[in-house]
Structure formats: structure tokens, C-alpha cells
């Protein structure tokens, strides 16, 4: 009896195709970033013995963006413009594979709906509200900024 075929997520397939294109066009910076993404996917698949689904791929890419934003900020603060520029270019490549970012109005609407559905007030409702928002916003908004907005709404 044969095992079912392992089907990669659509995003992983697009990244693999982009890797081939970057190789053909000899775009070294883009290729390096794509290889970083591929390596992270492979590391998780091997460590956890799973096949990544689309939601997990988005989570991984979102985490990679967050790491690079933190690095960018640290490099910029330290005056290392060369490294900050590299991080910024990696962020740009990774963001191509994430869904479009939500506008402030769309974000505010989702936050209002989650707060109304949480049926609570004050900081006690923070966990419930963020729990509702995270699956909807994964990869589409900076969760740190969302958390600050929710906290401001619940307290103020």
C-alpha cells in the first residue's frame, strides 16, 4: 500500500518556483532570502515530522518578518546601515508571499467586532480578544501593533 502523496502548500510551491526564477536571473540577494525561507520550512518539517499546511507556512513567514524587523531596528540604531539594508530587502522578499496587509479601517473594524464578541471589559478581556483576532490577522497585520491598539481600546 502506498502512502498518500504529500502536497505542499500553495505558498511553498510559489516560493519554490520563485527560487528557480531567481536562479535563472542570477538574483543572488533574492535567492538567498528564498533559500532562508525554504530552510526554515524544511527545519520545521524535519523537527516536528509534519508537512506544513498553508496556515503554518503563513505563521512561519510572519515570524521571519518579525525577526527581521527586530534586527532591522537594532542595526539601524547601531548605525549599521549595510546590515539594516540587507534586513529590509529580506523583509520585502518575504512580504511578497504574505497576504496583503489590512488597512487601518479594516483593522479597527475587526478589533471592534472582537471586543464586542468578547463580552467583557478591561484587561481581563485582552486574552479573549487577541485569541479571536490572531487567526484572522495572521500575516495580514503586525500583531504587536494590534495588541497595543486592543489594549488602548480596552483600557481607554
Report how far residue 124's alpha carbon sits from residue 132's, in angstroms, rounded to the nearest whole number. 14
pLDDT for 1 beyond 50:
no
Give pLDDT tens digits for 15-28: 999 999 999 999 99
The reported pLDDT for the residue numbered 7 is 66
pLDDT for 2 beyond 50:
no
| Average confidence (pLDDT) over 7-21 | 89
pLDDT for 74 beyond 60:
yes
**Which residues lie closer than 8 Å to 6 by C-beta, 6 or more apart?**
51
| Average confidence (pLDDT) over 42-54 | 92
pLDDT for 14 beyond 90:
yes
Tell me the average pLDDT of the chain: 88
| Average confidence (pLDDT) over 64-92 | 95
| Average confidence (pLDDT) over 97-118 | 86
Q: Quickly state the pLDDT bin for 65 (edges 50, 70, 90).
A: very high
List alpha helices for 26-53, DSSP H.
28-48
CB 107 within 8 A of CB 141: yes
The reported pLDDT for the residue numbered 46 is 94
| CA R_g for the chain | 19
| Average confidence (pLDDT) over 133-147 | 83
Could you tell me the three cell numbers for 144?
504587536
CB 83 within 8 A of CB 75: yes
The reported pLDDT for the residue numbered 6 is 61
> Looking at per-residue confidence, does 80 or 101 come out higher?
80
Tracing cell 509534519 back to the chain, one arrives at: 50
Amino acid at each position: 500500500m502506498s502512502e498518500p502523496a504529500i502536497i505542499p502548500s500553495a505558498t511553498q510551491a510559489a516560493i519554490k518556483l520563485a527560487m528557480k526564477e531567481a536562479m535563472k536571473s542570477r538574483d543572488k540577494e533574492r535567492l538567498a532570502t528564498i533559500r532562508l525561507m525554504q530552510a526554515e520550512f524544511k527545519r520545521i518539517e524535519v523537527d516536528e515530522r509534519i508537512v506544513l499546511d498553508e496556515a503554518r507556512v503563513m505563521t512561519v513567514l510572519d515570524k521571519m518578518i518579525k525577526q527581521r524587523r527586530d534586527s532591522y531596528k537594532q542595526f539601524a540604531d547601531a548605525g549599521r546601515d549595510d546590515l539594516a539594508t540587507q534586513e529590509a530587502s529580506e523583509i520585502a522578499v518575504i512580504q511578497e508571499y504574505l497576504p496583503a496587509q489590512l488597512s487601518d479601517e479594516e483593522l479597527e473594524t475587526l478589533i471592534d467586532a472582537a471586543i464586542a464578541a468578547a463580552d467583557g471589559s478591561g484587561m481581563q478581556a485582552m486574552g479573549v480578544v487577541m485569541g479571536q483576532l490572531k487567526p484572522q490577522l495572521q500575516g495580514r497585520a503586525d500583531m504587536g501593533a494590534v495588541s497595543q491598539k486592543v489594549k488602548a481600546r480596552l483600557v481607554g
